[in-house]
């Protein structure tokens, strides 16, 4: 069975969705959820789904003896960033080439980069009267939101769209497509 490790910083709705999706398959399992915030709701959600979880400090993330050591012990097939807000260390990426993916709530390359996450993205999309937006699943590289694009799914914005309605539609796309794209990557 393939092994997935998830990094998340917040509520963990995508992480929960991915865990539940793979509980229904024989292909893969989420073996560990890691968060840079000790009070992140994702840790509780993982625990409730019987998945090991751990919080860590930024120092542990950037230390070659910290998170990398934990990841090496996991015998993992894929690292999934699901609402993880820190820049992912280059030395970890080098140790796991083409095994780290992220989801972004816009159609990259638009509205990506440092500080562009969550409602900030949706507010910018609405403010700029974009005709469409969507999600991008991409490989992670040394720069924010610049890795090779794996998958995009878009929808047309309505005239009366708000950041909140965009966020709701984005979440629906994330929940529907993120686990399926992970599954396709693991089947290769």
> With 0-12 CB in 10 A as exposed, 13-18 as middle and 19+ as buried, what is 73?
exposed
Task: Please indicate whether residue 104 is annotated as part of the active site.
Answer: yes
Q: Where does residue 145 fall: left (phi above 0), alpha (psi -120 to 50 degrees), or beta otherwise?
A: left
Closest by Cα among 42, 147, 150, 92 to 30: 42
Q: Are 157 and 125 in contact (CB under 8 A)?
A: yes
User: Given 95, 104, 138, 171, which residue is catalytic?
Assistant: 104
Q: Which active-site residues does the annotation give?
A: 104
């Amino acid at each position: 069975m393939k092994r997935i490790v998830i990094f998340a910083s917040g509520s963990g709705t995508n992480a929960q969705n991915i865990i539940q999706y793979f509980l229904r398959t024989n292909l893969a399992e989420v073996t560990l959820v890691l968060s840079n915030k000790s009070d992140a709701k994702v840790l509780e959600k993982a625990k409730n789904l019987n998945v090991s979880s751990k919080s860590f400090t930024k120092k542990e993330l950037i230390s070659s003896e910290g998170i990398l050591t934990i990841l090496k012990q996991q015998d993992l097939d894929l690292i999934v960033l699901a609402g993880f807000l820190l820049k992912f260390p280059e030395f970890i990426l080098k140790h796991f080439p083409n095994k780290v993916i992220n989801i972004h709530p816009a159609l990259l390359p638009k509205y990506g980069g440092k500080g562009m996450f969550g409602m900030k993205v949706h507010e910018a999309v609405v403010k700029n009267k974009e005709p469409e937006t969507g999600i991008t699943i991409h490989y992670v590289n040394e720069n924010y939101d610049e890795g090779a694009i794996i998958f995009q799914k878009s929808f047309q914005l309505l005239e009366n769209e708000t950041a909140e309605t965009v966020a709701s539609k984005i979440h629906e796309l994330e929940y529907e497509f993120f686990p399926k794209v992970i599954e396709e990557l693991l089947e290769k």
